[in-house]
């Protein structure tokens, strides 16, 4: 099989205690996984083998077979910061099924020149930034959900 330390259990943020033995820093796309080889901050490889494809969140922890915990950290990535008429702008972002981090006074989406142009045409103030991206989870369950019908 493999000689890599194996992580088959995920503990959600706030549901694990103590200090993590190590950490992994993953961007939004990389935090959506089922089975994947990762490298920790200390440079140690591990194999994640979860029962199903899962969206990992900043602050979650993967439990290794020996009981050690590896904390999941959201990596900074290129984003667009959106300001303006947020209810209207959020509707247009959501209408395009674009993951969006909703914050007081601003929205964050992954950098996309087409969406930027659309938002600017709608009167938004749009600025490039780099930060960890933790968008809102789906209304039909935890994290990224695609089970609802259209």
Other C-beta atoms closer than 10 Å to the C-beta of 24 total 23
> What is the distance between the alpha carbons of residues 11 and 67, in angstroms, rounded to a whole number?
12
Residues 89-115, mean pLDDT to the nearest whole number? 96
Residues 8-30, mean pLDDT to the nearest whole number? 96
Question: 149 pLDDT exceeds 70?
Answer: no
| Domains assigned to the chain | 6-74 (2.60.260.20), 77-132 (3.30.70.790)
> What is the distance between the alpha carbons of residues 14 and 84, in angstroms, rounded to a whole number?
33
Instruction: Write out pLDDT tens, residues 31-55.
Output: 999 999 999 999 999 999 999 999 9
Of the chain, the percentage scoring pLDDT greater than 70 comes to: 90
Residue 137 pLDDT: 77
**pTM for this predicted structure:** 0.82
> What is the distance between the alpha carbons of residues 69 and 20, in angstroms, rounded to a whole number?
5
Residues 146-150, mean pLDDT to the nearest whole number? 42
Q: What is the mean pLDDT of the chain?
A: 92
For residue 9, the 8-state DSSP code is E
Instruction: Write out pLDDT tens, residues 114-134.
Output: 999 999 999 999 999 999 999
Of the chain, the percentage scoring pLDDT greater than 90 comes to: 88
Residues 78-103, mean pLDDT to the nearest whole number? 96
């Amino acid at each position: 099989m493999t000689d890599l330390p194996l992580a088959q259990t995920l503990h959600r943020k706030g549901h694990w205690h103590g200090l993590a033995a190590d950490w992994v820093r993953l961007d939004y796309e990389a935090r959506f996984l089922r089975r994947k080889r990762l490298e920790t901050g200390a440079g140690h490889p591990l194999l994640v083998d979860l029962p199903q494809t899962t969206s990992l969140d900043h602050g979650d922890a993967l439990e290794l077979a020996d009981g050690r915990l590896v904390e999941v950290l959201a990596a900074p990535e290129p984003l667009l910061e959106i300001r303006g008429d947020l209810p209207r702008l959020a509707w247009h972002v959501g209408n395009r099924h674009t993951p969006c981090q909703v914050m007081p006074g601003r929205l964050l989406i992954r950098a996309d020149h087409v969406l930027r142009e659309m938002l600017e045409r709608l009167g938004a103030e749009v600025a490039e930034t780099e930060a960890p991206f933790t968008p809102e989870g789906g209304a039909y369950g935890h994290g990224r959900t695609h089970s609802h019908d259209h």
